[in-house]
Each structure stands twice: as structure tokens, then as C-alpha cells.
Chains A and B, each alone.
Chain A
């Protein structure tokens, strides 16, 4: 079939052609946005804001006398009705209940209308069960294999950590708006507390994950014939992706957590982001002032200093991601720092799977690591650390670990919020000694808030956030390179960080300035759709007689019927004109097809004025005068009191009621033009 493009004007009233972004999450690195694009509704990521858990008391694995003895919180007026729900610790008030999470906005639009969910990395899918299992969602989720597998591990660890420590009571009174007003900060200012939910269960996780369809980088996935989505490597984590969402003539790029540093994942694919109409930019580094290399150095130095002084090191972390790079770094470092005999423990219900998974996703790794697989060698050196017994991993502190445990040691364990998981135990165990150090490497939580329920604390605290995602300099280079027409980003990226208002270098800087969104806001994307692709059926194409207007350019007129179905447009031959009615019977409705009137021929070409004047003179017009105008010429036939106005796109013959003269002149004009 031959194809042709027809311009279709934008219809502002047509809601199907509107392009909108619904922002459902206020957290720029844990995004959840919905993009309405060409009649499809696409959810971009499904991040879960876990900072809400910082308002809760930690869940200790072993009964903690300290936590259980914390006094209940009493209002200023002496009321004690909240003292069962709220406990006070070193001047801070915490909810004594199972930790809850702040869900993405569910009221802004009907989430059952979401057609697909695109996941960009395993950190940005933690709210998936809440969406797929509670909103009537019937669509498909797309993600890469490592994203799904590691995402499952993160969810498993989360569910396990919380379910392991059942809490008899559940606090809800404090959420009452009237009561919340009376609470001290930060509880008083906590937003959307009514939206906070307890953790999902494993069956819900499994059900959510069963809706995921696996995709590979650069794979093109058709959505309803209208849109094509493609994941691209984003360089941030194993299987992490950015997404291209495009129709034939529009392209939206969704850039989520991406990294240009050389760490373990495949490098970021920047080239494919070029020529975007809109680039949605999320997931930049949370610590733009810290250089990850420097932080790794800081991490190693502090670790070595503590251990050499006989102390233990606690590293609260996720079971996947930066931990692979940290272990690799330590692999090279421990000998130089004389730490060969210090045991490294990795404790997580999914520790074993995480370490093993990392070794089998070779195709998703950076080039260096991929080549190791062909040697064959394990791509990550932590295999050797395990082999030589320098790194040991355990599902929890119970069981084998308690037999093997030797101090001084280094423990990697979750959760980085310090509210649940095995880390709570180590905080209680080591918090009293100033020889020990807790080193924060995950940037998702404020370390001071994380430490608040453990105060007073003797152990040293070091903050070495390692965030390999794009910083603002890299973003600026990226935008210069890929040159999108419009940039859309969370409002946090359009102003300097609140604590460093003078750092105007720490914001997205591009022309035109980025459009920003915030939680529960709808943003209409600015670009206009200009073209639509239409197919011409072969028989119709055969009937066309193109005429060459200029060398290489041919035109033909088309009379056809436009069929539109599943976002595909097809031009078909018009039905044969109905036979002249034999009788004056009323036409049946089904016969009511558009009438095809014979069309007047279209004209093209230009009129050479000199030759035209000569022709006029040949035909007896003797007093021809030509005047130049801004747009063309006026040919003046003085005697006949007639004007012929010749312009680029129109020719007018102005004569006074002399139709034969007009027709004569018209025919002379037509001699110079082509018809088709």
C-alpha cells in the first residue's frame, strides 16, 4: 500500500488529542505520573514514598526494653488520650504502630482507566500492589526482567521485615484532622495522612507482579495501534530504563533515575532521546552537592577508621543497587587498609538471591562486566569475597548468624529508614558505644530523622549518601545534547534546594524554561499535534494520476472515504455513485454515502507578467500598463477599465459587468497555468 501524510488540524475540544500529565506523587525520585497521550492513559512509574515511616517507632526484632519504656505523649493541657498511640523519645514524638506508607494520589483521576504502567527501575515500583490490586486496574505493566526480579526482592524484604514483627495495636486516632492540629511537628505537618496505608501482603505482591510483561531494551511495544513505547537503558541500576512514548509524529521521552557514571549497569542510551517534543525529567540525584566518588572514599575511610579502632560498622542499605558497587570498592580496599581479617556480613531475607541475581543478569551489565562472563568469571567480585569467607550473608540475625558473629565487623542490612528490618537490632545493640559507627549511604531518608528514635546515641554517625543519578551539570549537558522542545519536571528541580538558596547552579537550566508540576496537579503539555499518518488503500492509490509540478514533486487530487479505527486512519475508494434511481423510492439509510461531486480542476504555476502582457497585446489590448505591488503585479487595461491583479496565490480580474471580457481574460490567464 502506498502511504501519504495528511495534515489534520488540532481540535482543542477533542479530549482524545489532549496531552496531559497527572502528577500523583510529590517525591521527585519516587515518581508516579500519568500521561494521557493519543487516547491512551499511561502511568509512568509507581513509586512509594516511604519517608512517612520516619514518624513511626522502630519495630525491634528482639524485645527492646528501651523502646517499650518510652513515655506516652501528653498534650500541653495534660490530656493523655493519645499516650497509647504516640510515644516521646528525646523530644521527638513517634506513632507507636505498624509503619505506614504515603500512597500516590488516587483521587485525581480514575486509576481503573490506566491502560499501561511503565516501570523505570526497581525502586520506582514499590507502590505497584496498591495500584494494581486496589483501583480496578485491568491493564498491563511493562518492566525489564532485572527490574521485576530485584523489585520482587525489595518488596519481599519489605513485607517480611514488617510482618516479622506483628504489632498488636494500630494507631488511627492521631490522624483525625482536629487531633493532628494539636500534635508537634513533624506529625502536625505530615501531608495526606488519611492516604497512609499499611504495607501490602505477599499474595498482593505476587498478584501485582503477575500483571507485568517483561521487555528488553529498545524493544518496541505497540499500544492500541496509536502509541509505541520503548525502554532504553538509563545506566542507573540493573535493568533500569527510560522510556520513549511516541506516535508517528510525536515523541515524549520519560527520563527517570539515570546515571552517566561508570558503575555496574549498562551505560545510559542518550542518543535515542533526541528529537523529543517533550522530555519528562524525574529521578535526579537527591544529593546534588555530593560527588559519588568522594562519598565512596569517605565511606571507606570511616569504615576503616572505626574497625581499626576496634569498633563495628553498620551500613543501613537496600539489598540491591549501590551495595554491589560498595562491595566491589571494598574488595579492592580491604587489603590496602589492613582489613583482610574483618568479617563483612550482609543480612537480608533476600541477601542470597540479590547476590546471585546480580551475577546472572550479564546482558544488563556494563561492557567490562559483560566481558568477564565470557572468560568465564563472575562479573562482580563479591563472588570472591564470599568464596574467601570475607563476605558472609544471612537471611536474618537469627540462626547461623548468631553462631558466626564476630566483632569488630561490618554489617550491611536494611531498612535504610531504621524503622524495620534487622538494622533496628544492630542500632539497639551498638548504639551505646562510641567505638561503633553507622554509615548512611542511601540518600532516600534524612539521617537525622532516621536516628531520632535512637537518641541519645553514643555511636558515631557518618553521612555518605551515594547517589549516582544525574546531577544538574549532567542534566544541562544532556539537554543540550538531546534538545527536547519542552522539558517537564517536578517543581523541586526548578528552584535551588531550600537549604541552599544561593546555589542557583542546583536547578534545571534550559530554554525554554522547564514546565513544573507538583503532587495532585494536572499539566497540559504545550505542543500541538500537526500531522497524522494515513494509509491509502492500493486500489485508491492505483486510481491516482500524479502530475509533476516541479521536478521531483508530483500532485494528485484524491477523493476518498476516511475510515478511522483503533487509531489507524485509512483512505478507501468511495463507493460507486448510486445508479440513477429507477423509481422515486426513498433512499435507504445504508445507501447514504457521501456524494462525490466532480471537482473543479486545481491550478498551479505562476504567470510570467511580460509574456502575459505580450499575449494581451496579441489579443488586441493595446494600452496595457503594469504596476508592481508588494505581493505581485497589477495589469491595467486602461481602455477597458479593467484590472488584473496577479499575486502569488491568487489572480483577480476586476472588470465592470463585462462577463465576456472577464471570460476572455480568464482563459488567457489559464493558458499560463497547469491544471490537474
Chain B
């Protein structure tokens, strides 16, 4: 153990050690919990108590805890002595005992008292009626899992027959218990092999330790049984094992069962194929199979062939993400993913019109065709395939080259089937078309893939037809609002792509026409009576401006449409979400209408002052928070982009905004205000230069320094300090934290070099009464209600000298620590928890006293 580790553990032990107060309270708590007359204890309290014990024992393997607190063993004894303990208390006891027995010393101690046998052995709850309760079984498994960190525990369980109980619990009717049992077996197997083996295993000589041997035999027996449920349990266990453990011995284990697993692919009597994809994926990802990778890939190929397309989909997409996957396996995996898309394309097109996506010889399309012909499986298969393709396309580096053009054509076909615009040429096409018409699920998934595909090159010749499809969706009144939103997202992505390509004149004409059509339909959508549609339309507009504001054609088309005027109208929408989106859209529009260097002369409707005034009005008068939050965030964006004019204008602008937001009831608006101030400060420093380095300013130096420091004056005039100091006392903690961060930032700028103060609480001699008052007030934190900023207290927040002094004197670091402490740090202490539990008991006792 390194010194650092030792230090860390020592510190942790100190932090989590039992305090005197707690050790005094604990016996009472234990007595109360073991009292059967108590009503069912609060589960949350019990969980917190267990958490505390976990922390207490984590860094302390000694037996002191149980020796010094005999109430713990007494508690276990008294629960065991109860004729009918409540299931929750029994479950708690099992888990507590497990936590205590996690160290060998305490395990031995509890063994001496015969407590562990009575809790986890054959004669314990295991054979009582309480075992019927899932919480008791769950407590038993958790208890065992907690203690399973040393050999004696392992032997205790294996020798006592406990392992058979865990095998049985794998098939428990409670999924939580079954899953916990499976996890426990994985842990035991790993622990047994890794703690008991001295020499590495070889494939020929499999001398497993006893416990591991039992588990492995159980796995092998289950795999060879004819019961699907037993096989499934073992496959789950193996999946979990190969996912979590990358030790070399797992390869030995695998070699013993590989043949059996392979047989499941073709086995018809037991249906466990659906479990195989995940297991194979974990194995393929595991680095320990380097030597046997060839056989693994063969197995994966076989799985891709034999599993149904729905089962094989996750395996295929997972395989494609493995860098070292061989090319032929990759092609096979890709075939699985593309086959439904290929089938769609073939079903929709005239014979030989398109080549399809795949070379037909690679696979037999009959299975996929039959799945696509049935209503339930068609939608499922397509949605799953589309989700996989989207996942694949969103990878930063695509491991394979997809046939993008055909894929796009297939997606367009699906979308046209869904809106009934395509008349299919084949009987299969008619069936698919009938199934897909108005199917929103498929539409949404297809549009997601379409959006992801926009990043890929090679689809440019289809852009015209693609926009026909997208515009048909945007125009149709039958388009469902969620589908419309997805269509907007896909359209904005492809419009960006279109702009990148529109260099030649013909392409420019095409782009112009498409943009005109898009803005025409957008105009109609902005008038929709459905607010979700208006909202998505505005979001779409914002997204477009964000990406395309530098493109001339885009700006021209937008400004010659009705869209900007309508967007401004929506600032008065009755729905607050729409107003918020309108604010954001108008704010972005301003980049084109007001802030662009070559702003078009379109009359004063796009006058910058008008827009600022409108947004200011929303900030000060809108009754809902969302629009106000949108305004402050747009103002910050403007400021960041340097759109608010010269420094004097910006100063006035910021000052106005601060005065509007400082009393806002919505904390996010106030937080937005602080963000604006932060940006303003950094912008000001950037423009005026950072203040010259100063060290412990003396009064005479201070004066000249202040006079020189223009930024300080700007902040004071803009009322930045009063807002920041006031925010330190805000009821909402994030505000105080943010304000403190900003003030600390200012302090680091004005006082880059500081000496450490000796005493934190003492008042600085330089502080006049007003700053001293401020210092005291701030120490009260959010208790300081009605923080006065009007000068009654004598603090002049606009006086540069006072503010500079305040920055230096006030212990912002201390404030920062205080604000970052969780607000319930007192209530969360173990002492408080124990008191809480006792308080509940107290009421019982009081009631008892009332009874004669």
C-alpha cells in the first residue's frame, strides 16, 4: 500500500468512525428495531442505516465495531429469537449481518456466536415460512454477497449447502432475487478462482477450486439439460461473467462449453436463441480470446445466419463496432442490418429498376420477406433495423462503408409507404404499404436515420426527390406532431447539406426553390392551431438560422418570406412555450436582420432598438418563466457574439437587464442574469485589458490603481456588484454559488496574488463599518433576508474603492465552501438518522405510557 493510499484510508476511517454520540444512541435503536411491537419500520431509514454500516466497515476490517457495540450481535440474536419477525426486519438483519461479516475478523466473531449459521444456514429463515417473502430471500442473497470477500465465507457457504440455495434462487419468481442470485454466482466464481488458484489454468488441466468447480458443473449441467429455463439461467450467468470479467481463465471456461453453446443455434427443441446474441457479443468484445478469436468469429457468423433477423440485429450492430472484426464477418453483419431495407427497396421498385442494397447471393431474403408481410413483425423489424442503422450512422468513425445512396432510397420508400404516396409494383410491396400507412413509429425511426444520413456523402443526386418527400410530410395536414418535429429536424440537416453543394447555378436554382417551398410551408405551420406545431416550427427556424445564417441564398429566401414577420407575431402567443421559442427565434433572426454587417434595408421593422425593446418588455412583464428565461439567454448569446454595440451601449444594456432580472421570481432567470454578468465581465476585461497586477494594495496605491482601472468603474456603473453581492444571499443556492464563482473570478483578476489570511472570522482593519456590515451579512448566508441595496446600510455598491476592498476583505472562499455544502448536511448525519428512528420509537413509548 502506498503512503498516499494509507493516508487516504486513515482519513476515511477517521471520517466514518463511530462517534461517541452514535454509539450511545445505537443500543436504543437496535432495541427499538428488534421490538416486535413496533409498527413496520420505514424502509428508507433502514436503507440509510445499512449505508452507514457499509461506510463504517469499508475501511475498518477489525472486530472493534462489533466488540465495542455488543448491541449489534444482541440485535441479531433477538431478531432470531422472535417467533415471527417482520419480513422487512429479518431482511434488514440478514443484510446487516452480511455487511458485518465482510471482514474475516468480524466473520469469525459472528461465527463464534453461531449467528451466521442461524441466519444463513439450513435451519435459518431458509426453511421458515418467511422464506416465501421475496424481501427475505433478497436480504439473504444480499447478505451472502456482502460477506463474500474472504475464503472462510466461501467455505462456509459451499460447505453448508448454501450454494444449492443460490442455484435454486436463479429461477426465483421475483426477478430481483433471480438477478441478484445470478450476480452472486458470478461474484463467487470470480472470487473463488482468483483467490484460491495459485497457478494459471491450462486448457488441458482444468483443476478448478472447489467452489468454482461446483458453479461450473452447475453451468455445464444446466446447459446440457432439456429445460429452456435452466439453460437461460446459465446463459444469463455466462453473459454477465464474460461482460464483467476479462481474466484469462474465462477462456478455459468458454472452451469447455463452446460446443454446447454452438449447438443451441441449430437446436429446435430448446428455444434459447434469443439469449445468444448478447453472450456472443460479450465474448467477441473480450480481449482474452485472442488465441481463439477465429473460432469465435466462426460462431458469430453462424449466429448471424441462424438467428432470426430480430435476434441477430443487436449482435450485428455490436459486431460492426468492434475494430478488429474481420471483413467477411462485417459483411455478414451488414447484410443482416441492410436486408430489411433491401427488401423494402425491391418490393417497391419495378424489376431491375434499382440494384437494391445487397448482392442477392449473400443471403436468402425469404425470412425477411415473411417478417415484413405480417403486420406485427413488419413494424417491429423495421423499427429495430432503423434504430440499429441510426446507431451505426451516429458513430464518429464508421467502421464500414454503407451503400448510402441505396439506403437513402430505401428510407424514402419507407416514408412514402407510410404516407400512402407510393404505389408499389409487387404483391409484397402492396402488403408492406398497407401495413405501413400512417404508422408513426416507423415514420419517426426512418426520419431519425434520415437525419443521421445527412452527414454522409454520396447521396447528392437524390436530393431533389428527398426534398419532395420531406416537403410532402411538412405540408400534409395529416402529419402527426411528433413526426412533424422529426421531419423538421431531418429537413434542417439536409438543408445544410444542400447549401454545401449549391455552388453551380443550376444547383443554386434548385436550392432557391426548395428554400422557398420550405418557408412557405413553415409560414403555414406557424399559424397552426396546435401549439406543439408552432413550437416545433420555431425551433426548426432557429436551427436553420444557427446553421445557415452565413449563406446568402438562405438569408435572401428567409427575408423575402413572411416567416420573420410571423415569428415576431408569435412573441405574443398565448402559449408560454411558443413565446419562449419565438423569443429564441427572434433573437437568432436578429443575427441576420440587425447584427449582420450588411444588414438589409427592409425598413424599420427590423430595427435593432425595436427588437431589444420588445424582448426587454417580455423580460419585465411576461407572467411565465419560460419566455423570460429565453430572453435572458438570447441577451447573453448576443453579448457573447459582441452584438450589443460599443462598450458604453453594452454597459447601459447590461445595467438595464440586471435591474430587470434581479427581482425576478424565477431563479433560472436570475441565474441567466449572472451568466450575462459573467460574460460582460470577461468581455470588458478583453476590451479594456486586464488590470495591472497589484499586491496588497495600500491606500495611496489603491486610489491611483482604481483611477486607472476602467473596468472597475464600468462594473460599478452597470450595478454589477450590487447584483452579485445580493445574489450571494439568494434563497436558491445555485444563484449564490454562481454569484460567488463570478465574484471569485473578479477577485482573481483584481488580486492575482494573495496572501493567506490567518484568521477567517476576524474583521479586517481596513473595512469601514459598511463593508464590515456586508461581511457580517454575507456570513449569515441566505438567512439575510431583505438584503438592502439602496444604501441604507451604508454600502455603496457603485463606489469602486469600496467594491475593490470588499473583494479583498470578504472571505469568498469560505462562502464558496459554505454554499457548496449540501443543504441537508446536518440532517444527513448518522446521528440524525439514529435520532429519527428513535423519535418514531418515542411516540410509541409515549403512547404506552398512556395505557394503564
Contacts and interface: CB of A to CB of B under 8 A. Distances in A.
Given A304-B527, A305-B523, A501-B423, A290 B430 contact: no
Contacts of B525: 301
Interface residues of A, number: 30
Given A297-B530, A500-B423, 13 more contacts: A296-B529, A301-B527, A305-B527, A333-B529, A336-B573, A338-B569, A338-B572, A502-B422, A502-B433, A503-B420, A504-B434, A505-B420, A505-B433
B575 interface: yes
Interface string A309-329: 100000000000000000001
A302 B430 CA distance: 34
Contact of B476 (A294, A308, A338): A294
A332 B573 CA distance: 12
Nearest to A339: B527
Nearest to B422: A502
A641 interface: no
Given A290-B478, A505-B434, A505-B437, A336 B423 contact: no
Interface residues of B, number: 29
A297 B572 contact: no
Nearest to A332: B529
B527 A337 contact: yes
Interface string B502-542: 00000000000000000000011101111101000000000
A504 B533 CA distance: 30
Contacts of A297: 477, 528-530, 533
A291 B530 CA distance: 14
A201 B221 CA distance: 92
A591 interface: no
Contacts of A459: none
Interface in B145-196: none
Given A291-B478, A297-B477, A464-B477, A302 B575 contact: no
7 contacts: A297-B528, A300-B529, A301-B525, A329-B529, A336-B574, A502-B433, A505-B437
Interface in B404-458: 420, 422-424, 430, 433-434, 437-438
B23 interface: no
Contacts of A500: 420, 423
A289 interface: yes
B478 A289 contact: yes
Interface in B538-571: 562, 566, 569
Interface in A254-305: 289-291, 294-298, 300-302, 304-305
Contacts of B420: 289, 500, 503, 505
A336 B529 contact: yes
B479 interface: yes
A648 interface: no
Given A297-B528, A300-B528, A304-B527, A504 B477 contact: no
A335 interface: yes
Which are the 3 A-B pairs with shortest beta-carbon distances?
A: A294-B477, A502-B423, A301-B527
A290 B420 CA distance: 12
Main secondary structure, interface of A, reads helix
Contacts of A308: 527, 566, 569
Given A300-B528, A304-B527, A501-B423, A294 B430 contact: no
B478 A301 contact: no
Contacts of A503: 420, 437
Nearest to A503: B420
A291 B420 CA distance: 13
Interface string A540-576: 0000000000000000000000000000000000000
A302 B529 CA distance: 11
B140 to A, nearest CB: 49
Contacts of A329: 529
A504 B432 CA distance: 11
Interface of B: 420, 422-424, 430, 433-434, 437-438, 476-479, 523-525, 527-531, 533, 562, 566, 569, 572-575
A301 B525 CA distance: 7
B213 to A, nearest CB: 58
A365 B437 CA distance: 33
Contacts of B477: 290-291, 294-295, 297-298, 464
A301 B529 contact: yes
Contact of A336 (B424, B430, B575): B575
A355 B806 CA distance: 72
Contacts of B479: 294
Interface in A488-528: 500-505
B58 to A, nearest CB: 59
Nearest to A288: B420
Nearest to A464: B477
Contacts of A298: 477, 524
Contact of A301 (B423, B434, B437, B524): B524
Give the interface centre of A308, A332, A473, A505 by most chain B CB atoms within 10 Å: A505
A340 to B, nearest CB: 11
Contacts of B533: 297
Nearest to B533: A297
B570 to A, nearest CB: 9
Contacts of A335: 574
Nearest to B565: A308
A503 B573 CA distance: 40
B437 A305 contact: no
B441 to A, nearest CB: 16
Give the interface centre of A289, A301, A333 by most chain B CB atoms within 10 Å: A301
A327 to B, nearest CB: 13
A500 B424 CA distance: 12
A479 B438 CA distance: 20
Contacts of A333: 529
A330 B768 CA distance: 66
Contacts of A294: 476-479
Give the interface centre of A294, A329, A504 by most chain B CB atoms within 10 Å: A294
A300 B527 contact: yes
B476 A502 contact: no
Nearest to A473: B438
A291 B438 CA distance: 11
Contacts of A309: 562
Contacts of A505: 420, 433-434, 437
A309 B527 CA distance: 13
A308 B525 CA distance: 14
Nearest to B479: A294
B524 A305 contact: yes
Nearest to A509: B434
Give the interface centre of B430, B527, B562 by most chain A CB atoms within 10 Å: B527
Contacts of B476: 294
Contacts of B434: 504-505
Contacts of A295: 477
Contacts of B575: 336
A295 B433 CA distance: 23
A337 B573 CA distance: 7
A332 B528 CA distance: 12
Give the interface centre of A309, A333, A337, A473 by most chain B CB atoms within 10 Å: A337
A309 B523 CA distance: 12
Nearest to B531: A336
Nearest to A307: B527
Give the interface centre of B422, B529, B566 by most chain A CB atoms within 10 Å: B529
Given A294-B478, A300-B529, A304-B527, A504 B574 contact: no
Contacts of B438: 473
A631 B420 CA distance: 59
Contacts of A336: 529, 531, 573-575
A184 to B, nearest CB: 30
A499 B434 CA distance: 16
B241 to A, nearest CB: 48
A395 B791 CA distance: 70
A464 B477 CA distance: 9
B413 to A, nearest CB: 13
Contacts of A291: 477-478
Contacts of B573: 336
